[in-house]
Amino acid sequence: MSLHLYNTLTRRLEEFRPLDPKGKRVGIYVCGPTVYDIPHIGHARSAYVFDVLRRYLVFKGYQVKFVRNVTDVDDKIIDKARQEFGERGTVNGERDLKATCREISERYLKSYHEAMDRLGIARPDVEPKATEHVVPDMTDFISKLLMSGTAYEAGGDVYFAVRKSEGYGRLSNRSLDELQAGARVEPGEHKQDPLDFALWKAAKPEEPSWPSPWGAGRPGWHIECSVMSTKELGDTFDIHGGGVDLVFPHHENEIAQARGAGKPFARTWIHNGLLTVNGEKMSKSLGNFITVEQALKDWPHPDYVKLFFLKTHYRSPIDFSHERMGEAKRNWEEFSRFVQHYYQRCTDAEGVGPASGESATGRQAFEAAMDDDLNTPKALAALFELVNAGHRMLEAADASAHGAARSVFDTLMACGAVLGLFQHGLTEEEPTTRERIDALIAKRDAARKAKNFKQADDIRESLQQEGVLLADTAGGTLWRRTR
Ligand SMILES: [Zn+2]
């Protein structure tokens, strides 16, 4: 079977075929964070869903270019700068909001990176920042829209004329009449039609602004993604992703802008479901706002959080609760028990065993589930089947059964790596200990890549002395404690 993905644009499950004529390269653009606050577990879910997609595409042999933007100019960032800095942001007696906004966005981008790193979610290949593409990328793009007649200037603002865009509403499956009913013109806007949206907003006093042919101002939110995605991946590219809350208006507007500039744009649209906490939408006022940091404090192994996510299909909503996190932890313990059992019984674990029927069947079941629109609950079930088969083989006392157990173990680790699992130790540790060991392993990986084998061996040796054993597998370096 080949990979099938649900495309929001066609509302169908479709066979994934890359644009690249050689069928090798795949371009993905995912809407990233607006950096004005510390990341919560809803951010982690979205980042993880697309990390798994990326890993699976790599596992299938594709060369993936993964682009995720950072929105670093936005009303929320400006509000935060006003709140937090006040007089502190004063430069030469005048408040420099542009500098304070930069400070805010840099601080929260750093906290986003730290949180995702701790979860073991890989960083994108390219991470364009909106503020670095305003002039000339966004201003040129807006000029093109003005020339094509799909945009108009009004009072220093530039708006996109939605009624001039063919197929508007197709992604979110809404008619213009429906959209009209919910559309408003806010005070200070100069729209000709309530459906229209801003591409460029005229500068307000104190706010960050850039020069443009229409006077100083700043871009609307939607334009950055049409501009940066096509700049990095071309006028048409394979996959565009984000949370389901972005389908309308953000992604609908991204498509309209790109088409208005004569670009066919993304072919497959993938959206992850949202996250609630104990059945309610996460919000600071409800006091149920769970940061990644807090989740990792309460559930101190990144795999607990990942297994919690994997147990629900990525398109479905997911509810964070103590009970579900407890289940995820127990699932992880099942894997951990098997690994302990394996090393107890197979002391000759470095030897290569014959491939077993069970491991081949397990791998096929795993792939079939992942090919079916990344059905991770089913893929996990395949891994637990492998664990059960592995235990049975280890209980049998003969050498050939142990060889088969080794192949089950290898398959489990390789498939786990596709899901980003098992990279942070296979035994329970204090989080600070675990992070220290993870950091040493990362250092050893870097040393090996640089062919500095002496340093790599020294790190392995020092870890061994404190009872931490490393194993280099197809799925990456695994570690566990032996005493
Ligand atoms: Zn976006």
Q: Is 400 left (phi over 0), alpha (psi -120 to 50) or beta?
A: alpha
Q: Distance between CA 142 and CA 197 in Å, rounded?
A: 13
The mean pLDDT of 119-128, rounded to a whole number, is: 97
Question: How many Å lie between the centroid of ligand 1 and the Cα of residue 455?
Answer: 42
Q: What is the pLDDT of residue 390?
A: 93
Asked if residue 93 has pLDDT above 90, the reply is no
Q: What is the pLDDT of residue 175?
A: 94
pLDDT digits (tens, 9 = 90+) for 182-210: 888 888 889 999 999 999 999 998 889 99
Q: What is the pLDDT of residue 98?
A: 83
pLDDT digits (tens, 9 = 90+) for 246-266: 999 999 999 999 999 999 999
- pLDDT grade, residue 406 (50/70/90)? confident
Question: How many Å lie between the centroid of ligand 1 and the Cα of residue 85?
Answer: 27
pLDDT digits (tens, 9 = 90+) for 450-461: 999 999 999 999
pTM (predicted TM-score): 0.94
Coil, strand or helix at 259: helix
- Residues sharing a CB contact under 8 Å with residue 317, sequence separation 6 or more, in sequence order: 273, 274, 275, 276
Q: What is the pLDDT of residue 426?
A: 84
**Minimal CA–CA distance to 16: which of 370, 268, 253?**
268
Question: How many Å lie between the centroid of ligand 1 and the Cα of residue 251?
Answer: 7
Q: What is the pLDDT of residue 343?
A: 84
- pLDDT grade, residue 94 (50/70/90)? low
Question: How many Å lie between the centroid of ligand 1 and the Cα of residue 128?
Answer: 11
As a whole number, the mean pLDDT across the chain is 92
Asked if residue 397 has pLDDT above 80, the reply is no
| Of 187-196, 323-332, 418-427, 468-477, highest mean pLDDT | 323-332
- pLDDT grade, residue 402 (50/70/90)? confident
Q: What is the pLDDT of residue 153?
A: 97
DSSP per-residue codes, 32-46: --B-SS--BHHHHHH
Q: Distance between CA 480 and CA 424 in Å, rounded?
A: 9
Give percent above pLDDT 70 in the chain: 95
- Cis ω before 136 (30° cut-off from 0): yes
Question: How many Å lie between the centroid of ligand 1 and the Cα of residue 225?
Answer: 5
Question: How many Å lie between the centroid of ligand 1 and the Cα of residue 221?
Answer: 8
- pLDDT grade, residue 347 (50/70/90)? low
DSSP per-residue codes, 166-234: TTTTTTTT--HHHHHHH----TT---SSTT-EEEEEE--TTS--B--TT-SEEE-HHHHHHHHHHHHH-
**Token pair of 57 as six digits:** 């595409």
Q: What is the pLDDT of residue 92?
A: 61
- Residues that place a CB less than 5 A from ion ligand 1: 31, 225
Give the end-to-end CA distance of the chain in Å, rounded to a whole number. 44
Question: How many Å lie between the centroid of ligand 1 and the Cα of residue 365?
Answer: 34
Strand partners, 153: 158
The mean pLDDT of 329-357, rounded to a whole number, is: 80
Count of alpha carbons within 13 Å of 391, Cβ hemisphere only? 11
Question: How many Å lie between the centroid of ligand 1 and the Cα of residue 43?
Answer: 14
Question: How many Å lie between the centroid of ligand 1 and the Cα of residue 247?
Answer: 10
- Cis ω before 249 (30° cut-off from 0): yes
Question: How many Å lie between the centroid of ligand 1 and the Cα of residue 38?
Answer: 19
Q: What is the pLDDT of residue 82?
A: 87
The mean pLDDT of 54-60, rounded to a whole number, is: 97
Question: How many Å lie between the centroid of ligand 1 and the Cα of residue 374?
Answer: 22
CB neighbourhood size of 350 (10 A)? 8
Between 454 and 472, name the one with better pLDDT.
454
Q: Distance between CA 241 and CA 204 in Å, rounded?
A: 32
Domains belonging to the chain, first-starting first, are 4-148+222-276 (3.40.50.620), 296-481 (1.20.120.640)
The mean pLDDT of 99-123, rounded to a whole number, is: 95
Q: What is the pLDDT of residue 36?
A: 94
